Amino acid sequence: MAKILIVGQDPDTVDFNAPGIAPGMTADKVRAGVEAALADLAAQGYAAKNLYIQPDPATAEREVAEALAGAPYDVVVVGAGVRVPPIRLFLFEAVINAIHRAAPTARIAFNTRPDDSAEAALRWAGR
């Protein structure tokens, strides 16, 4: 059974009016989308977890490293909110580097919105 970690910025820390954020997105929509993705993955027999990180790159890097140190993951999905808004470039780099160091054999996948995280993970699970 493939293990999957979905990494996204804590929705309570997101400025949903910032450039690059999908119009109409809210913290509740993020949480609902992630929960739907986790349920979809579980229904297909995957062990999936979610990790909401803080927007500070140093803190996020530590949070990702700690989560990945606990168990080997086959796929790590990095949420669009971490990598799409231009203001989040340093956060995105910190997350990718933490994954690279802590889980060098894990595949890295990217979603386009919270509710397609399962689809993103499944592109790489089992490869």
Percent of the chain scored above 90 by pLDDT? 87
Of 119, 125, 95, 94, the residue nearest 107 (C-alpha): 125
Of 47, 62, 52, the residue nearest 94 (C-alpha): 62
Per-residue pLDDT band for 48 (boundaries 50, 70, 90) equals very high
Neighbours of 2 (CB within 10 A): 19
- Scanning the chain, the segments in alpha helix (DSSP H) are 27-43, 57-69, 80-83, 89-102, 117-124
Q: What is the DSSP letter of 11?
A: G
Percent of the chain scored above 70 by pLDDT? 99
Instruction: Quote the number of domains for the chain.
Output: 1
Range of the domain at 120: 3-124
Give the model confidence (pLDDT) of 32-45 as tens digits: 999 999 999 999 99
Q: What's the pLDDT at 68?
A: 97
Query: 76 has which bridge partners?
Result: 5, 108
The CATH number given to whatever domain includes residue 24 is 3.40.50.1110
Q: What's the pLDDT at 127?
A: 62
